[in-house]
Amino acid sequence: MATIKQVKNELRHKQWAEEIAECQSSGMKISEWCQMKGISCNTYYRRLRIVRNEFLERSEAPLREIVPLSIATTPTAEEVPVAVKKSPDHKSEKVFIRKNGIEIELPQNTDDHTLLALLRGLQQC
């Protein structure tokens, strides 16, 4: 059974989470929002850290690992479908990459290393 202190902390953290969401959706700079609410930026960031850590502790789903990308070989067209088409303004061409519901739009002049890294990353999907 939860103690009074635990209940108070949980309510306080819930309030902080609501305030953080309000700040992030306000479109204001954090410093402006904090000044308007009468709290210091340090207090805001301390509360943000506490709320995030509490969320991570409660989260049952494991966090996905970041998969490092390497450019070893060039994927073939069969591995990752790529479509090049004119943009709506007909002034520049764009590269569209689609795979498994993911769509990436890039300018035609995207450098080879970036494009290859994206293609290799999509192979992991």
Structure tokens at 44: 């805001």
Mean pLDDT is highest, among 18-27, 50-59, 86-95, 100-109, for 18-27
Using CA atoms, how far apart are residues 19 and 34, in angstroms rounded to an integer? Answer: 10
pTM as predicted: 0.47
Question: What is the SS3 assignment for 39-102?
Answer: CCHHHHHHHHHHHHHHHHHHCCCCCCCCCCCCCCCCCCCCCCCEEEEECCCCCCEEEEEEECCE
Please give the pLDDT value at position 91.
53
